[in-house]
Amino acid sequence: MKKRLRSISMLLAATLIITVLSGCDRLGTELVDLMIIQGIAIDVTDSGYTVCVQTLNNAQSSFSNGENKAQSPSLEYHSEGETVAVALENAVTISGKEPMYAHNRIILIGEKAAKRGINDILDFFVRDYNTRPTVPIAVAKESDAKSVLEAKIESDLISSVVLEDILKRSNLFGRAVDARVLDTVNYSHDTTAALCLPAVITREDGEYKELSLDGTAVFNENNCLTGYLSDDETFGLMLINGKTDKGVFSLITDNNETVTLVMEKVNTRVEVAVNDEGVPEYSVNIYASCDVNEYLNGRSGHLGREAIERISQSGAAELEKLALASLSATLKDLNCDCFRFGRRLWLSNRKAYDGLEPRWKSVVGDIPYTVTGRVTIRRIGEESFLN
Amino acid sequence: MRNNIISSGGLYSIFFVSSMTGAFMFVSSSRSEVANSDLILLPLAFTLILVITSIPIMVYVKRFKSVGILDACTALSPAAGKITALLYCGIFILGSVRTVSRLDLFVSSVIFPEVDMSVYMLVVVAACAFASSYGLAALGKMGKITAVFFVIASVVILVSLKGELDFLNLTPLFADNPSSFLNASVLTASYAVEVALIPLLLPRLTGNKVKGFYMWLLASYIGITVFAFVIVTALGFYANTQIFPTFTLSALGEIGLFQRLDAIETAVWILGIVVKLALFLKCSSMTLCYAFTGMGKRTALIICSIITGLSVVYISQNIMRFTFFISPAQTAISYGLLVVAIPVAVITADAIKGSRRRYEKKAS
């Protein structure tokens, strides 16, 4: 009897749990009634913010063959509010659907909004339970975010998806900084480091527009946009910060050979030493293991030992050039520490850091540094072998 | 009767699950910085505090062999036995409420903020009460299985975060005031009130009690240190902004096609809570029976479960009520009473009584 009672109570409990507690609180919501957010563009007005929320067009993808060419794959909702949270809530009200932030692929910030500062923009994305810390953030260079997100690209593509792919791929190859919500919060709270976000633009491409990466947006100590780095300067930044394993660059050797190298492994070491005057001196050592992807010398493609030696030396010089250009652009031109030099000093020599931290902004432009590059050629391709 | 005997392996597995649940459910508060390298040293500090403060319990175990602390108190004075039983009952109900309230805070902050989870918490308490009715032996076995799940889940999550570690997120040691580190160490150690179960369950505990105790401390120390290291290096300052940093950490992880491994953590976490809560409810009902002779086991279990459930529902409505349950004063006093004061008092009283008996024997 006791055993039977136990079985019955367990069955009842299981039924209760399966029917009432399984799934999520959206159990009764149809897919078409969900606002599956793909991208959020944020711009500023005089009194607050405007947002453009790009969502999946659920009706389009609910056709039996999976798609309806007559409709766009995405929908955009626009709204305004005094804060980002209110503006987003208003967009939800316009759509009449339940928002789902978990699938958001990108947060795009307009240039004006970035200049005003991103601290107030970030809070919602840090606090809200439904948003993810891994969503990438980018700045719409020289335009508002809405026009980039709404850019008319090929009809069956969603701009948020394209932008996410561009950022991921470019980050892998050292052309875009890794700037997720998580990284953005970390950099924006570092008192000496400057926040860097990838900058994106639109280009005319006949009937459609083309989305493209265009360097890096650099923020000052108040987390307001202060300037941009070019593509090559961004590559140098990524090399120094050790944030890239791959990358492609071309060079011209002393013998006028044009060579394209593909990096297969990069190892960067940044060392800091404080001199007698209490000034920190940084030495950056970049080591890259590369494959020769292209070798143009006007004749045959045979590579000898001497040629490989030349390529290694020129490759090292090219890496040094890229790193020095990036250091000069950020430290001297923009007066920003994108390399976390301050933090590196804090970790290695706290006393020196404590003395410099309050006036870091004024000393950052005069920081002495040296860069040493080293390149090893790992493979030379299929064409012939050493002769 | 065999249902009420627990192996030391089973008990210390539950202790391990309890410590890891604490690390998984680590609530970041404004009292101390999370994104700080001190966090990596914290497990070492609180493990040392646990080792030192548990000396009275280890002495008790050596001296009393298989006499439970309540029986030892009763032998000294029947009233003292009942008061101690009530103290144990109250503090373990407090521990149960703290555990379920943390789960409630987690679910209603991170999983379903729009939904009132009170009913769900009552279901959890009821399920744990039901599980505890199976006896200590079953709980011990469940503890061992859950400990294995915890280790597997932790390894999966940590491996998935390999690419996220950034050593520049470390900070110099003791960059803040060292006294805040000491306070945090004492506070974290005081959460391990389950140590007090060793002298309570002594008559029902089989196997090597002392060796198991140190093995548990070592395993917990390693596990929590690894998590602390990954929290600091992978999350950086972002950890300070998150109420449940360990959960945020698991949300970052991905292995191949599998993303957002937070589901794994949530599952093992709830399993861990069930095991811990079932043991706490079992022990609080046992001590309630001891305090009120004649009270049925089932009645005591129902009373303890109802008090826990109602308290959780009451706390759920206001975040300020929750802060009481993680307040240093409350946890430190509870821990100090059960782990230090009572065993020291019993050992001292017994020693005095023994020497008096020897003196009287000699005199006669």
Residue B299, Cβ density class (10 Å: 0-12 exposed, 13-18 middle, ≥19 buried): middle
Pairing of strands A49-56, A34-44: antiparallel
Categorize the per-residue pLDDT at A17 as very low, low, confident or very high, splitting at 50, 70 and 90.
Answer: low
Could you give the CA distance from residue B246 to residue B226 in angstroms, rounded to a whole number? 11
Indicate if the pLDDT at residue A1 is higher than 70.
no
The single-letter DSSP state of residue A156 is T
Q: What is the pLDDT of residues B41-57, one digit of tens each?
A: 999 999 999 999 999 99
pLDDT mean over B61-80: 92
Residue A126: list chain B partners with CB under 8 A: 238, 241-242
When mean pLDDT is compared across A258-267, A292-301, B181-190, the lowest value belongs to A292-301
Residue B185 has pLDDT above 60, yes or no: yes
Closest partner residue to B172 among A182, A186, A346, by Cβ?
A346
A135 neighbors A104 (Cβ within 8 angstroms):
yes
Which residue among A17, A132, A186 sits closest to B237, beta carbon to beta carbon? A186
Per residue in B270-290, pLDDT tens? 899 999 999 999 999 999 999
Task: Please state, in angstroms and rounded to a whole number, the distance separating the CA atoms of residues B146 and B149.
Answer: 5
Cα distance between the two ends of chain A: 90
Candidates B110, B127, B251; nearest CB to A133: B251
Distance CA A236, CA A19 (A): 56
Q: Are A343 and A191 in contact (CB under 8 A)?
A: no
Residue at B10: amino acid letter: G
Tell whether the model's pLDDT for residue B32 goes beyond 70.
no
Distance of alpha carbon A370 from alpha carbon B210, whole angstroms: 58
- Which residues on chain B are in Cβ contact (under 8 Å) with A25? 112, 114-115
Cα distance from A238 to chain B (closest Cα, Å)?
14
Q: Largest Cα–Cα distance in chain A?
A: 95
B112 and A343 in contact by Cβ < 8 A? Answer: no
Q: Kindly report the nearest CA distance between residue A252 and chain B, in angstroms.
A: 34
Report the range of poorest mean pLDDT among A25-34, A62-71, A84-93, B292-301.
A62-71
Would an 8 Å CB–CB cutoff place B77 in contact with chain A? no
DSSP B262: H
Residue A159's identity, in one-letter code, is S
Nearest CB partner across the interface for B120, out of A9, A21, A186: A21
pLDDT digits over B86-95, tens only? 999 999 999 9
Structure token digits, residue B172: 């110099």
Question: Is the reported ipTM for this assembly greater than 0.90?
Answer: no
Confidence band, pLDDT 50/70/90 cuts, at residue A196: very high
Specify the range with the lowest mean pLDDT, choosing from A241-250, A279-288, A321-330.
A241-250
Region B238-253: mean pLDDT is 86
> Chain B: nearest CA to A129, how far in angstroms?
5
Distances (CA, A) of B302 to A12, B245, B274, B297: 19, 35, 16, 9
Any CB–CB contact under 8 A between A343 and chain B? Answer: yes
A182 part of contact set with chain B, CB < 8 Å: yes
CB contact under 8 A, A24 and B172: no
Q: Using a CB-CB distance cutoff of 8 angstroms, which residues of chain A are in contact with residue B120?
A: 21
Q: Where are the beta strands (DSSP E) in chain B?
A: 6-7, 205-206, 254-255, 258-259
pLDDT of residue B242: 86
**Residues shown for chain A:** 387
Q: Position of tokens 């949530």? A: B266
* Pairwise CA distance, residues B67 & B288, whole Å: 18
- Enumerate residues 110 to 149 of chain A having a beta carbon within 8 A of any beta carbon in chain B: 126-127, 129, 132-134
How close is the nearest chain B Cα to the Cα of A46, in Å? 29
In this prediction, residue A25 carries a pLDDT of 54
Which range is most confident: A276-280, B212-216, B250-254?
A: B212-216
Structure confidence at residue A32 (pLDDT): 77
DSSP code per residue over B154-220:
HHHHHHHTGGG--GGG---TT-S-HHHHHHHHHHHHHT-GGGGHHHHSGGGEES-HHHHHHHHHHHH
Q: Which residue in the set A21, A129, A346 is minimally distant from B109, CB to CB?
A: A129
pLDDT at B58 over 80: yes
Which pLDDT value is given to residue B337?
A: 95
Percentage of chain A beyond pLDDT 70 is 91
Amino acid at B71: D
Quote the CA–CA distance of A301 and A383 in Å, as a whole number: 7
> Which pLDDT score, from 0 to 100, does residue A6 have?
76
A277 vs A5, which has greater pLDDT? A277
Query: What is the tens place of the pLDDT at every residue in B302-349?
Result: 999 999 999 999 988 888 888 777 788 888 999 999 999 999 999 999
Q: Is the pLDDT of residue B8 over 80?
A: yes
* C-alpha dist (Å) from residue A23 to A28, A29, A103, B20: 10, 11, 17, 26
Pairwise CB contact (< 8 Å): A25 & B115: yes
Whole-number percent of chain B with pLDDT over 70: 96
Which has the higher per-residue pLDDT, A10 or B209? B209
Nearest chain B CA: its distance from A298 CA (Å): 42
Flag whether residue B252 sits within 8 Å of chain A, measured between CB atoms.
yes
Residue B22 is predicted with a pLDDT of 84
Find the CB nearest B238 among A24, A185, A340.
Answer: A185
Specify the pLDDT at position B180: 83
Contact A121, A131 (CB under 8 A): no
3 state SS for B296-345 = CHHHHHHHHHHHHHHHHHHHHCCHHHHHHHCCHHHHHHHHHHHHHHHHHH
Q: Which of A92-101, B16-25, B192-201, B350-359 has the highest mean pLDDT?
A: B192-201
3-state secondary structure of B61: helix
| A261 token code pair | 């190298």
Residue A203 burial (CB count, 10 A): 10
Q: Which residue(s) pair with A77 in the sheet? A: A53
Radius of gyration of chain B (CA): 21
Answer yes or no: are the C-beta atoms of B13 and B140 closer than 8 Å: yes
Indicate the DSSP class of residue A172.
H
Residue A20 has pLDDT above 90, yes or no: no
State pTM to two decimals: 0.88
Q: Which of residues 85-114 of B touch A (CB under 8 A)?
A: 109-114
Strand pairing class (A137-140; A106-110):
parallel
Which one-letter DSSP state was computed for residue B78?
Answer: H
pLDDT-derived band at A22 (thresholds 50, 70, 90) equals low
- Residues of chain A with C-beta less than 8 angstroms from the C-beta of B113: 129
CA distance A369 to B207: 63
